[in-house]
Amino acid sequence: MHRALPSKFRLLFGLASLALLAGLLGAVLLTQQSTASASAGADKLAMVYVGSFDRSVYAVNARTGAKVWSFPTGGSVFSSPAATTGLVYVGSGDGNLYALNARTGAKVWSFLTGSAVVSSPTVAGGTVYIASQDGNVYALDARAGAEIWRFPTGSSIESSPTVAGNVVYIGSDDHDVYALNARTGTQIWKFPTDDEVFSSPRVAGNVVYVGSVDGGVYALNARTGAEIWKFPTDDEVFSSPTVAHGVVYIGSNDSRLYALNARTGSEIWSFLTGDEVTSSPRVANGVVYFGALDNHLYALNARTGAQIWKFLTGDTVESSPTLGASPGLTAPASVG
């Protein structure tokens, strides 16, 4: 029996904080360009959308940091917003998925599930996919919020859906990874791991990569669900993988970030931090960025694993970094 979940549920039940986000926790920041309609050639407004444990969803001007709008939900917001076609979609601890007007924050529709929604929505082909701690995966009409289908797994779900090639991939606390027909919700295959799957799958080529609380990182055939390889870490894996240039990057609660050969699963390098790595890494310009519970944000050479820098925050970093250009700054040069 694995030990009590150390960081996932500190995050879910509000026992941790990120000083850098001034109390806006556990969310990935998204930027949308929305054009003002008052006059031709109006300036585009870059917006950042984020959820908070204070039960609200916020839109913030990306340039000035000024609040544009806020929307109150009935529960803490663990879910990371998805923004597309003038709408912002986000789950709440009150059990709802909300669709909000991206410009004004007005509610367009809401859909009530049977429990908290900590999973983050994915929008594809006019459909928004979401999972709930009621154990169901849902497909909803992105414009109207009408239910298209639901699929019951065997337990609650913290994993977020990934859609690729008309297939929805998701993990469940019932220990399984699922592949569902994106149009009908019928099960294509499921793959059993040996513990809960909090990690959100990533698809590259014809391979699904995902971590499990059993400590394993798995590569599965995207069409059949057959195991291609499994890499054992030394502790639970909550982190979700990132795949870039033939390498799988993923963190483990053994305090390491791993770089694995995407084809064979062999270890290329690992980097030891001072505490668990539940953050999901991001890769850009030859650099891999991630956080750790030792309060640091790290930047490593993606090819060698050598540390480029680390930044000390005021508390544990469970959030996953998002990369974006800042006005007046030049993108970093590529690192070999």
**Class of the CATH domain delimited by 197-322:** mainly beta
Residue 117's H or E segment, with its range, is: none
The pTM assigned to this predicted structure is: 0.87
Over residues 298-326, the mean pLDDT reads 86
Q: What is d(CA 18, CA 317) in angstroms, rounded to the nearest whole number?
A: 7
State the pLDDT confidence band at 324, using cuts at 50, 70 and 90.
Answer: low
Residue 35 predicted with pLDDT over 70 = no
- Digit-coded pLDDT (tens) for 189-231: 999 999 999 999 999 999 999 999 999 999 999 999 999 999 9
- Digit-coded pLDDT (tens) for 86-97: 999 999 999 999
Residue 20 predicted with pLDDT over 70 = no
Over residues 256-275, the mean pLDDT reads 98
**pLDDT above 70 as % of the chain:** 82
CATH number for domain 1-35+45-192, candidates 3.40.50.1820, 3.40.50.740, 3.40.50.300, 2.130.10.10: 2.130.10.10
Q: Which residue has the higher pLDDT, 20 or 204?
A: 204
Q: What is d(CA 41, CA 36) in angstroms, rounded to the nearest whole number?
A: 8
**What is the pLDDT, as a whole number, of residue 151?**
98
Residue 158 predicted with pLDDT over 70 = yes
Phi, psi of 116 (to 5 degrees): -60, 145
Q: What 3-state class would DSSP assign to 10?
A: helix
For residue 155, what are the contacts with CB-CB under 8 A and spacing of at least 6?
Answer: 135, 172, 173, 174, 196
- The overall average pLDDT reported for the chain is 86
Q: Contact, 120 vs 129, CB < 8 A?
A: no
Q: What 3-state class would DSSP assign to 203?
A: strand
**What is the pLDDT, as a whole number, of residue 316?**
87
Residue 242 predicted with pLDDT over 60 = yes
Q: What is d(CA 33, CA 114) in angstroms, rounded to the nearest whole number?
A: 33
Distances from the Cα of 182 to the Cα of 122, 160, 164, 178, 277, angstroms: 11, 14, 9, 12, 31
- Which residue, among 333, 323, 322, has the nearest Cα to 120 in the 3D structure? 322
Q: Which residue has the higher pLDDT, 17 or 296?
A: 296
Q: Please report where in the chains the tokens 């779900």 appear, as a residue.
A: 157
Q: What is d(CA 307, CA 257) in angstroms, rounded to the nearest whole number?
A: 12
- Digit-coded pLDDT (tens) for 4-16: 344 444 444 332 3
Residue 21 predicted with pLDDT over 70 = no
Range scoring the smallest mean pLDDT among 58-62, 145-149, 235-239: 58-62
Phi, psi of 240 (to 5 degrees): -100, 140
Domain ranges of the chain: 1-35+45-192, 197-322
Over residues 172-178, the mean pLDDT reads 98
